[in-house]
Structure 1
Amino acid sequence: MVRTGEWVDVENGWLDRRIFWQDDIYALELERIFARCWIFVAHDSQLPEVGDFLTSTIGQDAVIVSRGEDGKIHTFLNSCSHRGNRVCFAEVGKARRFTCNFHGWSYGLDGGLKSVSRPQSYDGKSNFDKAKLGLHPARVESYKGMHFACFDPAAPSLEEYLGDFRWYLDVILDNDEGGIEFIDGNIKSHLKCNWKFPAENFVGDSYHAPWTHGSALIAMFGKAPTMRAERSYHANVNGHGWEFGLDFIGNAATLNSPQIIEYLRGQETKFAERLGKVRSRMVGSLSSANVFPNLSFLAGHNTFRTWNPKGPSETELNTWVFLNANAPQELKDEYRRGVMLTFSPAGVFEMDDGENFENCTSVNAGVVTRRQMLHVGMGLDSQIDHDELKGNVYQSQINEANQRAFYQRWADLMGAETWADVPVR
């Protein structure tokens, strides 16, 4: 039995540093978190037509995500059933089939085995059954255009997994009748850090912003932003979390584009009619969020990001820009430029964050260092009741409530033999 209580003490706000460094803990994460949670794999707009595909990873399992002949999104292992070779080497494209370059086994857009080279070589005693030799599939379920995959047949539905956090996701996914679309392309980069550091940063760490990004904010605007505790919150459900103010344009303003502010102001009444007053104030606000385990986003900046683990001390970051599908093309170009300025490998904010994430990881190489606990006790007594906000709500976005919820969910999953043992929080 895994004794996760030794690693995470949420009640008192302590974390064991070993969870960011040890190989055996990382191996268990791949098994009990990434192999059985719902992991974001694609948005509808990335795969609009039959045959469109992209390749990604779920944990360290390589996968192909494709639009099948049935019009549905399929996700399956990118590893041939014959000798295990990678079947598809392209990051994105259009295909009719996926054919392994080792022995010529060919698979359909749904992952099913379609043909093999020299089929006459498989006689009646070869135990060859096409129906059983397709690329191993994951379950795929969707929420408002966002497709998630899960390899655990016992996992709850995506709807149950997200729970009331869907109410928050609608702030960005459904503030316009046309929904969102991903702007073509993505930025892929690598960080020498444990995947949990950036994920927990986005789930709840506004504390760092005025300090870490202070010089960049002063250079851009002459001052760092002021965060008002009485108008800001942490909210979490099942380890998913969003820290936010109700300032409407705080994040969007850092993109340094008058056109973006003008667009948001022009849509303000429409947002309120669709979402209600409180949620409409979150659309472009100072905020950050994470869908457990590794899908983060910034409202206002309009960027989704995934933190894909590549070992206990390396993370692959994928960054996309999204916008309401009905928005004009010139606005989409403005958001793309704004994200490049702020949250790209050369962005003024991402360089600050990446350095912190990498140093938070590398310093734990020390034996004595790893024996020291980390403190995440800010706001232990700050939970409140709120008439409108869903889930577990805490006063002030300067808080560590969402980070504690993130690590509690991590510990629940790491310590559970099956999904039936994972509590709803």
Structure 2
Amino acid sequence: MSNLIKTIDTTDCLEGIESVCDIEGGRISGEIFYDQKIYEQELEKVFARCWLFVGHESQIKKTGDYITTTMGEDEVIVIRQKSGGVKVLLNACPHRGNKVCFSESGSTRGFICNYHGWSFNVEGNLIGQHESGIYEDSNFDKSKWGLKEVAKVDSYKGLIFATFDPDSPTLEEYLGPMTWYLDSLFDNQEGGTEFVGGCIRSTYECNWKIAAENFVGDILHAGWTHDSAARAMLGGSVAKVSDFDESYSVNWNGHGYEFALDTVGNVAVLGDSQLNKYLHTIKPSVAERLGEFRSNMIGSVSSCTIFPNFSFLAGQNTVRIWQPRGPNKIELFTWVVVNKSAPQDIKDRWRKGAMMTFSPTGVFEMDDGENWEYCTKTAKGKVTAKQDLFIGLGMDTYLEDTDLPANVYKGQLNEANSRAFYQRWQDLLQAKSWAEVPNRNKGKAEVEK
């Protein structure tokens, strides 16, 4: 009996999904945000198949350091090993399935189940039980009954990902050329990044896709939804995204990053001039490290989602996971990411700025939460759920002649990334295995070294 989790059977496919998701026609149907059958398929074919973000290296520095999180609705423990590596284990005792860890984070020499006293070391191996002698007469083999491991664990620039599917592509293949853009936040200084402060957790009565798609490429809402909040934080007028000289929407296999090249537009709305100053101070070294183009991205007006549910805002430096809790509910995990090399005062300022803007009572988060909840609730209506929703902006904006990697589209005010997000979602729901998931990319796969 292996300690790896058994492969989930995904041979059955949801019929008729193409009727609610017409990418070429620039439309989706509202019922994808409320339908229970679709949600069950998502848990099986998206969350049990894709690479999911589970934590940051800085959260588990020493042997026995751990955090708990979820992959879809499966609870897992992310724990540092004696070897220095990381394991991701199901947070479920293999005796009766009880949770073995109830803390969000900590450091331990092992885990003990409250129910029957089964105990496990940091590697997940079963090392003892209550009344252990009674097991000896039943030919019990402890080596076969440890905590179950996910199929694969890997990391990129401090970001730890895991997948339940042993047939998944490698993490490098999964992220593809999007890593070139990720480096503008996660590798713009020597030493990389770290998470500061704790995890901000909140819940919303919305579908996970609405929130993830908002970050994959919807800057369109910002100038309207967040106008008053941005004016309050900036103390005056707000620049229009349409006035930027140069901006882009880029995507790859459902991942999307929309950005301008204004350097500090996102960080400015935190209302702290010292953070603006810090980014301008490091910009020359970023240009030397990553090139002039990406040095203009470090705090620019931008947002990103790595499919399916890992998102971040450069400049505002909030990293979040949209954890599904049913078709009409999410739990949001949010952290603040900073450069390790940044002065402590700068790290503290970013943490406070995030609390003011993108926390449950933040001036921007409240705007978004209300919109997302009502987008979901309207889909409960049997007639309303079947109406077409428009995602057709920027149909003819693909850039053929560019040196930038991935699929590149002109302008941020564009729904190209949203279409790519829903196309990947549809493809996964219709595929029986990774081998059947089509490659719809036409941009450059090579990442400049």
TM-score bracket for this pair, using the shorter chain length: over 0.9
Comparing 222-231 and 44-53, the one that deviates more: 222-231
Alignment correspondent of 1:121: 134
**What's the secondary structure of 1:186's corresponding residue?**
strand
CA shift for structure 1 position 6:
1.6
Distance (Å, rounded) in 1 between the aligned partners of 2:264 and 2:301: 7
Shift of 1:229: 5.5
Query: Does the alignment pair 1:39 with 2:49?
Result: no
Residue 370 of structure 1 aligns to a residue whose secondary structure is helix
- The offset of 1:363, in angstroms, is 1.1
In structure 1, which of residues 255, 277, 293 is the aligned counterpart of residue 292 of structure 2?
277
Structure 1 contact 36–150 (Cα < 8 Å) conserved: yes
CA drift of 1:423 comes to 1.8
* 1:371 pairs with 2:386: yes
State the match for 1:157 in structure 2. 170
Matched, 1:201 2:207: no
1:184 partnered with 2:197: yes
Say whether the 8 Å CA contact 1:34–1:59 is kept in structure 2. Answer: yes
Residue aligning to 2:103: 90
Return the alpha-carbon distance in structure 1 between the equivalents of residues 134 and 239 of structure 2. 70
Matched-pair contact (CA < 8 Å) for 1:230–1:395 = no
What is the count of residue pairs matched by the alignment?
424
Specify which of 149, 161, 169 is matched with residue 148 of structure 1. 161
Q: CA deviation at 1:7?
A: 2.2
Distance 1:60 1:251 in 2: 32
Structure 1 192/127 Cα, relative in aligned 2: closer, same or farther at 3 Å? farther
Tell me the SS of whatever aligns to 1:176. Answer: coil
Residue by residue over 1:318-359, the C-alpha shift from the partner in whole angstroms, topping out at 9 and shown as x without a partner, is 110011100000000110111111111111110000000000
- Residue 383 of structure 1: SS of its match in structure 2? coil
One-letter amino acid of the structure 1 residue matched with residue 225 of structure 2:
T
The reply to whether residue 226 of structure 1 matches residue 240 of structure 2 is yes
Aligned to 1:76: 89
**Given that residues 239 and 291 in structure 1 are in contact (C-alpha distance below 8 angstroms), is that contact kept between their aligned partners in structure 2?**
yes
Following superposition, the deviation at residue 313 of structure 1 comes to: 0.6
Consecutive unaligned residues in structure 1, runs of 5 or more: none
- Give the corresponding residue for 2:444: none
> Who is 2:266 aligned against?
251
Q: Is the 8 A contact 1:79 1:87 kept in 2?
A: yes
Deviation string, structure 1 residues 351-380 (Cα, Å, up to 9, x no partner): 000000000001111111011111100111
Deviations 1:83-136 (A, max 9, x none): 000111011111101110000001121222122222221244x35222221111
* Equivalent position of 1:322 in the other structure: 337
Which whole-Å CA distance do the structure 2 matches of 1:112 and 1:352 have between them?
A: 46
Q: Is the 8 A contact 1:229 1:395 kept in 2?
A: no
C-alpha distance in 2 between matches for 1:213 and 1:74: 40
State the 1:75 CA deviation.
0.4
Q: Report the Cα distance in structure 2 between the residues aligned to 1:160 and 1:262, rounded to whole angstroms.
A: 36
- The percentage of counterpart residues that share the same residue type is 52
Q: Cα 1:401–1:266, aligned 2, differ >3 Å: closer, same or farther?
A: same
Change over 3 Å in CA distance of 1:229–1:400 after alignment to 2 = farther
Query: Counterpart amino acid of 2:323?
Result: N
Deviations 1:213-267 (A, max 9, x none): 1111222332232113640110001111100000011001111111111111111
Write the distance in 1 (CA, Å) between the matches of 2:390 and 2:228: 26
Contact 2:50 2:165 in 1 (8 A): yes
Q: Deviations over 1:274-307 (max 9, x none)?
A: 1111111110000000000000000001110000
Q: Which amino acid aligns with 2:350?
A: Y
Give the match for residue 7 of structure 2.
Answer: none
* Inter-partner Cα distance in structure 1 for 2:319 and 2:225: 21
**Counterpart pick for 2:183 among 170, 182, 188:** 170
| 2-structure distance, mates of 1:298, 1:419 | 29
Contact (CA 8 Å) 2:197, 2:351: kept in 1 or not? no
- One-letter code of the match for 2:168? A
The 5 A counterparts of 1:346-425 are 346-424=361-439, 425=441
CA distance in 2, matches of 1:172, 1:198: 21
When normalised by structure 2's length, the TM-score is 0.93
The answer (yes or no) to whether the contact 2:233–2:270 under 8 Å persists in 1 is no
In the alignment, structure 1 residue 49 sits paired with structure 2 residue 79: no
Amino acid at match of 1:224: V
- Give the partner amino acid of 1:203: V
Unaligned 5+ segments in structure 2 are 1-12, 442-449
Instruction: Give me the whole-angstrom Cα distance separating, in 2, the residues matched to 1:21 and 1:205.
Output: 21
Any conservation in 1 of the 2:266–2:302 contact (CA below 8 Å)? yes
User: 1:87·1:98 contact (CA, 8 Å) conserved in 2?
Assistant: yes
RMSD of equivalent CA atoms: 1.1
For residues 59 and 217 of structure 2, the distance between their equivalents in structure 1, rounded to whole angstroms, comes to: 28
1:336 aligns with 2:348: no
Q: Is the 8 A contact 2:216 2:303 kept in 1?
A: yes
Instruction: Kindly indicate whether the alpha-carbon contact (under 8 Å) linking 1:229 and 1:398 is maintained by their aligned counterparts in 2.
Output: no
CA contact (8 A) 1:297 1:304 kept: yes
SS of 1:300's equivalent in the other structure is coil
List, as ranges, runs of 4+ consecutive aligned residues in structure 1 with deviation greater than 4 Å: none
* Structure 2 SS opposite 1:331: helix
Once the 2 structures are TM-superposed, how far is the Cα of residue 386 of structure 1 from its aligned partner? 4.7
Q: Could you tell me how far apart the structure 1 residues matched to 2:252 and 2:237 are?
A: 34
Q: Distance in 1 between matches of 2:195 and 2:277?
A: 21
- Separation in 2 of the partners of 1:287 and 1:7? 29
- Given the two structures, how large is their TM-score scaled by the length of structure 1? 0.98
Match of 1:137 in 2: 149
